[in-house]
A = this chain, B = another copy of it.
Amino acid sequence: MAHDIRIVTEAELRAVVGLDRDTVGVIERAFGALSDGGVVMPPVLSMELAEAHGEVDVKTAYIPGFDGFAIKVSPGFFDNPKLGLPSLNGLMILFSARTGLVQAVFLDNGYLTDLRTAAAGAVAAQHLAPEVIHTAGIIGTGVQARLQARAAHLVRPCERLLIWGRDADKAQACARDLVDLGGEVRVTDDAADLVRDSQLVITTTPARQPVIEAAWLHPGLHITAMGSDQAGKNEIDPQALVRADLYVADRAAQVETLGELRSAIAAGIWDKGTPTELGDVIRGRAQGRRDDAQITICDLTGTGLQDTAIATHVMQRLAGGDVGTVITA
């Protein structure tokens, strides 16, 4: 029986949904639901296409109370820049959680993934960072460096934003793109200085060797590490995880294999058992930051939960309107 399916392009999506408090609220609600129970989130389906220097990941999750569930497909083909194409692409498909019928195809080229990833950073800052942030620091200079800075600003506006990257020109470009946030926005040439001066630091790199040393930790610091999303990546000195007063995971089962915790376990220094999950902090089922002097770290590896949340959110934004192309199939 044919039914209507809405096909929406990246440009159309950019016009209707952005990084704002609504988006952060939806992602926060999804993490809360994970704590409430009943979320079904299978392990990521991963396929490597070695000949093409490519890989593809598929994520999904069912969240009780959400009308739909998303299947998100993220190809990464790392020779694409040689062809003038972006490495990362992909799309999301939204299905009815009641009938399984396809509701919408979001040809977003990864835009919605960027949004939901940044929004998780805001949720982490909201629930774990000190109340007042004078200086925030961003490590890395890519799309997420920009988006994480904006996400943090939504929940913890600061007077000064510092940016550090291995490539000083890219760091300057990133800083220029963020001047509209207001306050001082400047590049620093020393990551240690950045961490020392900041109360909130967000790492947004694909680093395979730590970019933050444990010795740099100081009272009143919160770090969100969102770069590690597969085995082999590592942004933070494993000692820092042990030394922090609190280490929080987006999903405990996932940080052990794909996140920062993997390196700490591999180094044989992790002795604190299963980490606290962000959703449990949101719901008050686990203790978050106790005071402004504590050192906290949040590890975001990216979850299908966020994909279902953002796709459902987009569909609500689109309801009743005529954005996209409706195909009867």
User: A residues near B, CB below 8 A?
Assistant: 1-2, 5, 7, 9-11, 38, 40, 42-43, 45-52, 54, 56, 58, 60-62, 64, 69, 71, 73, 75-77, 80, 83-86, 89-91, 93, 95, 97-102, 105, 107-109, 325, 327-329
- When chains A and B are docked, how far (Å) is the Cα of A86 from the Cα of B101? 9
Contact status B58-A48, CB under 8 Å: no
Q: Which residues of B contact A89 (CB under 8 A)?
A: 99-102
Contact of A42 among B45, B85, B108 (CB under 8 A): B45
Copies of this chain assembled into the complex: 2
**Distance, CA A90 to CA B329, complexed state (A):** 11
Shortest Cβ distance from A12 into B: residue? B329
A11, B328: Cα distance in complex, Å: 10
Given A42-B45, A45-B58, A73-B93, 11 other A-B contacts at CB below 8 A?
A10-B329, A40-B47, A45-B45, A45-B60, A56-B100, A71-B73, A75-B101, A80-B99, A102-B107, A109-B329, A325-B327
CA of A76 to CA of B100 in the docked complex: distance in angstroms? 7
Closest 6 CB pairs of A and B: A75-B100, A107-B329, A9-B329, A45-B45, A77-B100, A42-B47
- Whether B40 contacts A107 by the Cβ 8 Å rule is no
Instruction: Give the shortest distance, in Å, between A45 (CB) and chain B (any CB).
Output: 4
- Whether the pair A62, B47 counts as a contact (CB closer than 8 A) is yes
Find out whether the CB atom of A9 lies under 8 angstroms from the CB atom of B327.
yes
Nearest residue in B to A324 (C-beta to C-beta)? B327
12 A–B contacts from the bound complex (CB under 8 Å)? A1-B85, A7-B105, A9-B328, A42-B45, A45-B58, A54-B100, A56-B69, A58-B71, A77-B98, A102-B107, A105-B105, A108-B329
Contacts of A85 in B (CB 8 A): 1, 99, 101
Taking a contact as CB atoms closer than 8 A, the residue among B1, B43, B54 that contacts A86 in the complex is: B1
Contacts of A9 in B (CB 8 A): 2, 327-329
**B75–A51 CB distance below 8 A:** no
Note all chain B residues with C-beta closer than 8 A to A49: 40, 62, 69, 97, 100
Q: Given the complex, which residues of B lie within 8 Å of A52, measured CB to CB?
A: 97-100
Complex CA–CA separation, A91 to B97 (angstroms): 16
**Nearest residue, chain B, Cβ from A41:** B47
- The answer for the CA separation of A86 and B108 in the assembled complex, in Å, is 29
In the complex, which residue of chain B has the Cβ closest to the Cβ of A106?
A: B329
Roughly how many angstroms separate A1 CA and B85 CA in the complex, as a whole number? 7
Taking CB atoms, residues of chain B closer than 8 Å to A58 are 45, 58, 60, 71
Residues in B with CB closer than 8 Å to A95 are 56, 73, 75
User: Please, how many angstroms separate the alpha-carbon atoms of A51 and B64 in the complex?
Assistant: 9
Closest CB in chain B relative to A6 CB, distance in Å: 11
Q: Are A83 and B99 in contact (CB under 8 A)?
A: yes
Bound Cα distance from A91 to B102, whole angstroms: 8
Q: Is B329 a contact of A84 with CB atoms below 8 Å?
A: no
Q: Which residues of B contact A102 (CB under 8 A)?
A: 89-91, 107
In the complex, A108→B102 CA distance in Å?
11
CB distance from A4 to the nearest CB of B (A): 11
Which of A71, A85, A100, A329 has the most B CB atoms < 10 Å from its CB? A100
